[in-house]
Amino acid sequence: MTHMHVAGSIHADATSPAPQWLKRPEDVNALTRQLWSEHAGRDAQGRLAIAGLTAQEIVEQAGSPVYVIDEADFRGRARRWKEAFGDWQVFYAGKSFLCTTVARWIAEEGLGLDVCTGGELAVALRGGMDPARIGLHGNNKSEDELRAALQAGVGRIIVDSSHEIGLLERLCAELGTVARVMIRVTTGVEAHTHEYIATAHEDQKFGFSINGGAALVALVRSAHSPHLNLVGVHSHIGSQIFDTNGFEVAARRTLKLIAQFKEATGTELSELDLGGGFGISYIKEDTPATPEDLAAGLRAIVEHECRGFGLSVPLMSVEPGRAICGPAGTAIYTVGTVKTVELGGGQSRRYISVDGGMSDNIRPALYAAEYSAAMANRTSAAEPVLSRVVGKHCEGGDILVRDEFLPGDLTAGDLIAVPASGAYSRSMASNYNHVPRPPVVAVSDGRLTTLLRRETLDDLLALDAGA
Ligand SMILES: *Cc1c(COP(=O)(O)O)cnc(C)c1O
């Protein structure tokens, strides 16, 4: 998931600690369109507004910090992915961000939904998602999770290990049911931002290796099981991917496997899922492909490979998560301490501390992920100053935005907005330092709806058995 810029540690010039890719903006108030949700922009007074509410109004209604989802943007993106992929199925990867309302939006927009734990399954079902449109993932599904999925009647279980095949067979026999399964395979493609590395050795925890032959063995075993209805093969190559090269190799290797399976058993598998991982813009330099271009590219690849292997094109599916919820979300924080630290050699860095941090967005600490930011409550005529936005936690690595130019007069009480914050932030949030997790609100046509309320100290203390 790492998106590290190669030039990240190289400085533009000797007097600036800014990374080379980050240019001093001509107008520090300008918002780069591609980073922000569709209905976010500065109003006539220069204040950031999202779907008719200013950042200040959102904070007055929901407190700070707060995660804001532009509902029409989220729904529009979901719809666009579904329409772009036509007769391919699109499953929203719930792990990127899921609550019951989001499950309902996904259901209403006609997508499927992927979950990877019993917790995500429970939220999806509570949100009214049709179980037949739910897929269950996970490399270590528990017996309880598999039983819950079978009892709910989920549309597909993506099987990750031979242990799981045995477990599923026993549970299906017990419940008198047959599980619809796909086999998760590793293709040896590890996709990064702009390149892929085809590793000979698939050194990671997910799925069955194609290279070692484990994938074919799992397919044959599942096909022969009276308890399993084997429908196809599943591959997921990584995240924050910007081109189709990695998918091309993955499609070739999975279809070759399907051809080998056909040779071994005489049966052609009917479904292939190429996973998710489609990249979004966190900073200006990120230039993701459109869903339409991705769909056309992937379709051409799959059709070409199927012709080559003499297979008919299976029922295809993809699983975008970040690409749907990421750009729709904005985090809003309130500025507290502002400090300028001398770095020696005439260089300095301004640290801006805000009222959240690594407990609500662990991605910068976990993957050195980059973000951008803007002052949200006003514009400024002051000079842009290279800044680092940091949280309130007791860790040096508690960084939210490593490098960004922000107005020189930014001060305590100002609001900072971080765009592209809808994916893998609140969903990965923790209670580190006993900081209550922030709420998630949806905004639409000037109205705010709470999706997840703010955690309170009472919520935290309620778990403490000694209290
Ligand atoms: C995480 C994951 C996805 C979604 O990845 P994004 O980067 O959010 O698109 C899709 N499929 C599987 C199996 C995953 O593990």
Sequence letter at residue 388: R
Are 378 and 420 found together in one domain? Answer: yes
Rounded to whole angstroms, the Cα distance separating 411 from 354 reads 11
**What is the number of the ligand 1 atom nearest to the C-alpha of 234?**
13
Cis peptide before 327 (omega within 30 of 0): no
175 CA from centroid of ligand 1 (Å): 30
Sequential DSSP letters for 88-115: SEEEEEGGGS--HHHHHHHHHTT-EEEE
Are 162 and 26 found together in one domain? Answer: no
Query: Is the pLDDT assigned to residue 69 strictly greater than 50?
Result: yes
CA distances from 151 to 114, 179, 225 (A): 17, 10, 19
327 lines ligand 1 (CB under 6 A): no
**What is the number of the ligand 1 atom nearest to the C-alpha of 278?**
9
Band of residue 8 on the pLDDT scale cut at 50, 70, 90? very low
Whether 167 maps to a domain, the answer reads yes
Rounded to whole angstroms, the Cα distance separating 34 from 407 reads 21
Domain closes at, from 325, 351, 380: 325
Are 312 and 361 found together in one domain? Answer: no
Number of helices followed by number of strands (H, E) in the chain: 12, 25
Q: Are the beta carbons of 338 and 350 closer than 8 angstroms?
A: yes
C-alpha of 53 from chain center = 25
Is 394 part of the annotated catalytic residue set? Answer: yes
Sequence letter at residue 238: G
Query: What is the reported pTM?
Result: 0.95
What integer pLDDT is reported at residue 192 of this predicted model? Answer: 62
Q: Are the beta carbons of 111 and 350 closer than 8 angstroms?
A: no
Query: Is the pLDDT assigned to residue 326 strictly greater than 80?
Result: yes
278 lines ligand 1 (CB under 6 A): yes
CA gyration radius, the chain = 23
End-to-end CA distance of the chain: 39
**What is the number of the ligand 1 atom nearest to the C-alpha of 158?**
13
273 lines ligand 1 (CB under 6 A): no
Band of residue 73 on the pLDDT scale cut at 50, 70, 90? very high
Whether 115 maps to a domain, the answer reads yes
Are 246 and 389 found together in one domain? Answer: no
Residues 131-167 have pLDDT tens digits of: 999 999 999 999 999 999 999 999 999 999 999 999 9
Residues 199-226 have pLDDT tens digits of: 434 677 899 999 989 999 999 999 999 9
278: DSSP letter? B
**Catalytic site residue from 116, 172, 306, 394:** 394
What integer pLDDT is reported at residue 6 of this predicted model? Answer: 42
Instruction: Supply the range of the domain harboring residue 385.
Output: 6-63+328-462
192 CA from centroid of ligand 1 (Å): 14
Q: Are the beta carbons of 403 and 25 closer than 8 angstroms?
A: no
- Between residues 20 and 140, the one the model is more confident about: 140
What integer pLDDT is reported at residue 17 of this predicted model? Answer: 85
Residues 442-451 have pLDDT tens digits of: 999 999 999 9
Give the CATH number, domain containing residue 13.
Answer: 2.40.37.10
What integer pLDDT is reported at residue 11 of this predicted model? Answer: 46
Q: Are the beta carbons of 209 and 186 closer than 8 angstroms?
A: yes
Number of domains in the chain: 2
96 lines ligand 1 (CB under 6 A): yes
| 3-state SS class at 146 | helix
CA distances from 107 to 79, 125, 295 (A): 11, 11, 21
What integer pLDDT is reported at residue 5 of this predicted model? Answer: 44
Sequential DSSP letters for 184-251: EEE-SEEE-SS-EEE-SS--SSSSEESTTSHHHHHHHHHHH-TTEEEEEEE---BSSB-SSHHHHHHH
Rounded to whole angstroms, the Cα distance separating 128 from 135 reads 15
Q: Are the beta carbons of 63 and 439 closer than 8 angstroms?
A: yes
Domain closes at, from 296, 325, 354: 325
Sequence letter at residue 452: L
Nearest CA, atom 10, ligand 1: 276
Buried/exposed 146-156: b ≥16 CB within 10 Å, e otherwise: bbbbbebebbb
Sole residue written with tokens 């309620």: 462
Most distant CA atoms of the chain, gap in Å: 74
How many residues make up the chain in this entry?
Answer: 467
**What is the number of the ligand 1 atom nearest to the C-alpha of 95?**
1
Mean pLDDT of the chain: 94
Whether 346 maps to a domain, the answer reads yes
Rounded to whole angstroms, the Cα distance separating 101 from 276 reads 22
Are 287 and 358 found together in one domain? Answer: no
Give the CATH number, domain containing residue 170.
Answer: 3.20.20.10
Residues 392-424 have pLDDT tens digits of: 999 999 999 999 999 999 999 999 999 999 999
184 lines ligand 1 (CB under 6 A): no
Are 190 and 216 found together in one domain? Answer: yes
Backbone angles phi, psi at 155, to 5 degrees: -70, -30
| 3-state SS class at 58 | helix
244 lines ligand 1 (CB under 6 A): no
- Between residues 8 and 202, the one the model is more confident about: 202
Domain closes at, from 325, 344, 378: 325
Query: Is the pLDDT assigned to residue 7 strictly greater than 80?
Result: no
Rounded to whole angstroms, the Cα distance separating 168 from 230 reads 12
Are 288 and 367 found together in one domain? Answer: no
